[in-house]
Amino acid sequence: MIIRTLLLWIKKGGFLSRKYKQPADTSEIRLLEIIAELNQDKLIHGILVQLPLPKNISTDKIIAAIDPHKDVDGFHPYNVGGLITGSPLFIPCTPQGIMELIARTGIDLKGKEAVVVGRSNIVGKPIALLLLAQHATVTICHSRTKDLPFVTRRADILIAAVGKPHMIKANMVKEGAVVIDVGVNRLENGKLAGDVDFNEVAAKASFITPVPGGVGPMTIAMLMKNTLAAANMFS
């Protein structure tokens, strides 16, 4: 079986895909037309729209236009609703990759304290639901959380997805915790850094993911997994 996935993204310099080239100021109507064509194309198994989109285009409208059976990103409202009820067609790639990483530690999540720092629709909220489905006790933290270090120190599993470089320090982490760093931040020197101060926290954590090279490759792997599943649906 030949498996085909289509990556769509809009950036300075133009709208790029395997089939289409449009100017950077592509209209919302035109993008919806392209998605409608791809929804009907039996040679396309997966559709991924790279976010963020330009301000003149509604992200919610574009994501909702994708056929849920080709929504390999897992962002369509149908799949989000399925995640809540425990029956999505596709799970968002980054949270799915995080769960795979945790599974490979061999740690049973039942009854464990899991703390998620960040409440985005892409990572924070879906990973909280996935952890809950594995019977962890889940706390979601955000910018208005009082005494964040007190909360994070309770975590057996700590997931940082807030987008602030080196925000999580050693004094915020429980001895022996599993620490998953989702952050990808560009420093002034051009280097990439996570949300976790790796050098500090690694000494206390039982498991920790680096940046780069940790969650990122797992996100790509889960995208391929979702695309394979989508292809099998159409076979």
pLDDT at 23: 67
Mean pLDDT, the chain, whole residue set: 89
Does residue 62 sit in the same domain as residue 100? no
Does residue 104 sit in the same domain as residue 210? yes
- The contacts of residue 97 (CB under 8 Å, 6+ apart) are 215, 218, 219, 221, 222
Residue 107 falls inside a structural domain: yes
Q: What is the pTM of this model?
A: 0.88
Among positive and negative, which fits the CA dihedral 149, 151, 154, 159? negative
d(CA 75, CA 93) in angstroms, rounded, equals 10
Residue 115 falls inside a structural domain: yes
Residue 199 falls inside a structural domain: yes
Span 121-144, pLDDT tens digits: 999 999 999 999 999 999 999 989
Which residue ranges in the chain fall short of pLDDT 70?
1-24
pLDDT at 13: 38
Domain that holds residue 38: 5-83
pLDDT at 25: 79
Does residue 21 sit in the same domain as residue 107? no
Does residue 121 sit in the same domain as residue 35? no
